[in-house]
Each structure stands twice: as structure tokens, then as C-alpha cells.
């Protein structure tokens, strides 16, 4: 059973790595210098966090965590650029719907 979990985990790690790369190239292709710079700035931080926390726990999570941080950062920048004030309206609508 553990072997199946490990295999699935490896597959998902590979998928997230690929998605992360596509997200990175998409962000760069949008032409936003700031998004590209964000990736450059966050990479060393992500690597430090990965090595410190996950090295002896989950080696396969190393790439996954760094890419998640990068996607999150790029997503926030892109949303902030494109949506601006609209994002707040969307968030308010969502929170009202949840209530």
C-alpha cells in the first residue's frame, strides 16, 4: 500500500512541476517584468525554506513547495495588476454567498 502512495506522490510531484513551469512561462509571456522578477526574487527564499523544513521529512515536496510559492506570488501580482478593485468586489460577493 505504501508503494502505491509513493508512486502516486511522485506522479503528482511531476505534474505540479510541469504546471509550475507552464505557469512561469505564461507569466513571462504576459510581458510583466515584475512577475518575472518576482520569480527570480522568490526562488532563493523558496529554496531556503524547502531545504530547512522538508529536506529530512519529504524530499519529494521540495520542488512542489517552491513552485507553489512561486505560483501563489505570480498569481497575486497578476490579479493585482489586472483586477485591481474588481477583486475586492469578488471577494465580498464570495463571503456574502458563504454566509
The reported pLDDT for the residue numbered 46 is: 58
Q: Can you tell me the distance from the alpha carbon of 42 to that of 83, in angstroms, rounded to the nearest whole number?
A: 23
Greater model confidence, 70 or 81? 70
- Portion of the chain with pLDDT greater than 70, in percent: 0
DSSP 51-76: HHHHTTT-TTHHHHHHHHHHHHHHHH
**Under a CB-based contact definition with an 8 Å cutoff, are residues 43 and 88 in contact?**
no
pLDDT, one tens digit per residue, over 74-96 is: 666 666 665 554 545 555 555 55
Angle at 65 between CA 12 and CA 19, to 5 degrees: 50
**Three-class SS state of 89:** helix
pTM over 0.85: no
| Residue 36 banded pLDDT, cuts 50, 70, 90 | low
- Mean of per-residue pLDDT scores for the chain: 59
**Three-class SS state of 82:** helix
Q: Which triple of cell numbers denotes residue 4?
A: 502505491
Orientation angle between helical segments 61-82 and 33-54, nearest 10 degrees: 150
Greater model confidence, 76 or 55? 76
The reported pLDDT for the residue numbered 62 is: 56
Amino acid at each position: 500500500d505504501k508503494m502505491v502512495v509513493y508512486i502516486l506522490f511522485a506522479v503528482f510531484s511531476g505534474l505540479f512541476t510541469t504546471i509550475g513551469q507552464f505557469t512561469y512561462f505564461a507569466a513571462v509571456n504576459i510581458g510583466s517584468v515584475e512577475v518575472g522578477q518576482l520569480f527570480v526574487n522568490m526562488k532563493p527564499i523558496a529554496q531556503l525554506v524547502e531545504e530547512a523544513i522538508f529536506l529530512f521529512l519529504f524530499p519529494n515536496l521540495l520542488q512542489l513547495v517552491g513552485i507553489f510559492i512561486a505560483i501563489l506570488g505570480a498569481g497575486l501580482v497578476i490579479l493585482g495588476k489586472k483586477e485591481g478593485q474588481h477583486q475586492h468586489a469578488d471577494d465580498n460577493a464570495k463571503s456574502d454567498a458563504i454566509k
